[in-house]
Amino acid sequence: MNKLTTAKRLDLILELCIKKENKFLFSNEIQRDVLPELSKSEISLLLKKISKEPKPVARVVFTEFAEHIEKNELTDKFLQQGGYTHIETKEKERIKRKIYRDSLEFDNAEVDLDLARKILKDYSKTKWYSRLGFFIAIGLVMFELIRFVID
């Protein structure tokens, strides 16, 4: 048995709404027709997820005894554009890109750290080379002064 994602389950509910035309679709019908593996409380959670969208793609009504859903003007267009599955896919791609970007930043930080270690390792040698160069320069200046004074 294949495991359906939440997004695919939401899309199945909306597709069933479209098939039912202008009728209300109750949670027990959803359970019977498309999602028999889910309990009524799980279906209720899916319906709540649909109703909590900023622009609900279907009209969901919760009563004391049952929940029902019916399509609205956005349902068809939403499913034609890919539905919840499309949204989930885009979100997964965004997360993958973020993980990739973070790994690149980590690799760059690692390279920078290696470079800093090499610089610190070579710093003591460089310091001695610069001191030696300074003393040679002073010696040459003294030599030139003495030569200037003698001439």
- Neighbour count for residue 60 (Cβ, 10 Å): 23
**Do residues 94 and 76 share a domain?**
no
Q: 29: domain CATH number?
A: 1.10.10.10
Determine, yes or no, domain membership for 58: yes
49: domain range?
Answer: 6-81
- 2 pLDDT tier (thresholds 50, 70, 90): low
Q: Please list, in sequence order, all residues whose beta carbon lies within 8 angstroms of the beta carbon of residue 94, skipping any fewer than 6 positions away.
A: none
**pLDDT value at residue 76:** 87
My answer on whether 96 and 71 are in the same domain is no
Question: Does residue 127 form part of some domain?
Answer: yes
Same domain, 13 and 71: yes
Tell me the C-alpha distance between 37 and 34, whole Å. Answer: 9
CB-based burial, 128-144: b 16+ in 10 Å, e otherwise: eeeeeeeeeeeeeeeee
Q: Are residues 29 and 56 in the same domain?
A: yes
Looking only at Cα atoms, what is the longest distance across the chain? 116
Structure tokens at 126: 């460089």
**Final residue of a structural domain among 26, 58, 81:** 81
Residue 29: predicted pLDDT: 87
71 and 125 inside one domain: no
- For residue range 44-91, what is the model confidence (pLDDT) as tens digits? 899 999 888 888 888 888 888 888 888 888 888 989 999 999 999 999
Q: Are residues 149 and 89 in the same domain?
A: yes
Whether the per-residue pLDDT at 129 is higher than 60: the answer is: yes
Average pLDDT over residues 127-135: 91
- Kindly state whether residue 61 falls inside one of the protein's structural domains: yes
Q: Which of helix, strand or coil describes residue 74? A: coil
Supply 137's token pair: 């320069």
* Residue 51 to residue 138: CA distance in whole angstroms: 83
Query: What's the whole-number average pLDDT of the chain?
Result: 88
| Residue 119 and residue 149 in one domain | yes
Give percent above pLDDT 70 in the chain: 98
Where does the pLDDT of residue 1 fall: very low under 50, low under 70, confident under 90, or very high at 90 and above?
Answer: very low
